[in-house]
Amino acid sequence: MGKVYLVGAGPGDPQLLTLRAYRLLQTADAVLYDALVSDEILELIPPSAERIFVGKRCGNHYKTQDEINRLIYRYSLLYPKVVRLKGGDPFLFGRGGEELLFLAERGVEVEVVPGISSVFGAAASAGIPLTLRGVSSSLLVVSGHRLEGIDWKTLASAETLVFLMGIGNRREIARRLIGAGRSPDEGVAFVENATTPLERRVYATLKEVAENPPEVGTPALFIVGSVVDVGIKTSFGKPLNLPTGGEMKRDI
Ligand code: SAH
């Protein structure tokens, strides 16, 4: 029976792979990868390794999670070194926990290799510090995929909020945040395809997103909080599109 490496591929830029991930990719017998893993990273896999796409896309599931779990298990019986490659970090909304449990229950040895999450990749790329002394001392990372069951009051009490999988629900998220007491003037940044050549940033206020949400492509990160203003103020934010109102004038 082989060993499975549950590896984070980082947010997109191959330079943001860990050395451990890079070395494992070059020596793997088989690599099962997600839709969010960039082509540049896939190019690092030698032709001798078997590559298996197991991506899931919202609304159009290519494979169910159970099918993916079973497939990884089958590959662990076939090869000594199997890499399960996931976008960002495998344990942050990556279903890595489920895969680990499934394999562990069947006696498969698993090693988890952390990756740079898109949360950190997008924030760094857009020059938005997720915490900032005197401005934000708390960060909440939330799935924006399903909004039922969220305690909006508690959620809104964190200073910086980051939503993953939240683009389709951006309008409703902004409405509920305002309803829970966040200022409608608060800054919002969407960072699409962070750390890739296709990266694009869109800035708005919560009110704008609630009333007339800007166009945003996916995958994108949705950041809310006063720290967004830093990204707008620094050169990181300037060349990119600003909200309809023009330059934001809020001070931090
Ligand atoms: N494990 C991943 C997250 C998987 S959930 C991680 O740690 O990053 C998928 C969500 O991640 C997307 O809906 C999007 O919100 C975010 N995402 C992934 N890659 C991204 C990228 N390059 N740029 C912006 N957001 C990204």
Residues 6+ apart with CB under 8 A from 216: 167, 170, 190, 192, 202, 222
Nearest in space to 81 (alpha carbons), one of 35, 14, 26 = 26
pLDDT at site 61: 57
CATH number, domain 119-249: 3.30.950.10
Q: Which of 11, 13, 28 is nearest to 111 (CA)?
A: 28
Contact 213, 219 (CB under 8 A): no
- Other Cβ atoms less than 10 A from the Cβ of 188: the count is 27
Report the 10 Å Cβ neighbour count for 143.
Answer: 14
| Residue nearest ligand 1's atom 11 by CA | 164
- Separation of alpha carbons 92 and 105, rounded Å: 21
Tokens of 65: 């999670």
d(CA 176, CA 147): 10
| pTM for this predicted structure | 0.92
Which atom of ligand 1 approaches the CA of 163 most closely?
15
Q: Which residues pair with 222 in a beta bridge?
A: 163, 190
Model pLDDT for residues 175-234, shown as the tens digit of each residue? 999 999 999 999 999 999 999 999 999 999 999 999 999 999 999 999 999 999 998 888
Pocket residues: Cβ below 6 A from ligand 1: 11-12, 36, 86-89, 92-94, 117-118, 122, 164-165, 191, 193-196, 219-221
Q: How many angstroms is it from 118 CA to the middle of ligand 1?
A: 5
The full set of domain ranges for the chain reads: 3-116, 119-249
> Atom 24 (ligand 1): residue with closest C-alpha?
220
Both tokens of 208, joined, read 């704008």
Contacts for 1 with CB less than 8 Å, ≥ 6 apart: 76, 77, 107, 108, 109
Q: Which of 221, 222, 223, 224 to mutate to test the pocket of ligand 1 (most atoms within 8 A of CB)?
A: 221
pLDDT digit string (tens) for 92-141? 998 999 999 999 999 999 999 999 999 999 999 999 999 999 999 999 99
Max distance between CA atoms of the chain, in angstroms, equals 60
| CATH class of domain segment(s) 3-116 | alpha beta
